[in-house]
């Protein structure tokens, strides 16, 4: 049995909520806007560890 990781609720900050909304609304056929691509690159390790 694996041990699930718990995520500190302080990591779910308001700007992440806005970022997630922007990702959900992005058109995949046209690629990500540069500001979203930069944000993903900057936070890649955090996303991988929390998903």
Percentage helix, strand, coil for the chain under 3-state DSSP, each rounded to 5: 65, 0, 35
Element at 17 (helix H, strand E): helix 14-25
What's residue 17's pLDDT?
A: 77
What's residue 16's pLDDT?
A: 74
The C-alpha atoms of residue 21 and residue 3 are separated, in whole angstroms, by 30
What's residue 10's pLDDT?
A: 59
From first to last of the 51 residues of the chain, give the pLDDT tens digit.
566 666 665 555 557 778 788 888 887 777 788 888 888 888 787 777 766
| Phi (first) and psi of residue 36, to 5 degrees | -75, -40
What pTM, to 2 d.p., does this model score?
Answer: 0.47
User: 20 in the Ramachandran plot: left (φ > 0), alpha (ψ -120 to 50) or beta?
Assistant: alpha
């Amino acid at each position: 049995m694996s041990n699930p990781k718990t995520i500190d609720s302080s990591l779910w900050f308001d700007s992440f909520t806005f970022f997630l909304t922007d990702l959900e609304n992005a058109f995949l056929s046209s690629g990500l806007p540069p500001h979203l691509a930069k944000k993903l690159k900057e936070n890649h390790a955090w996303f991988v560890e929390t998903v």
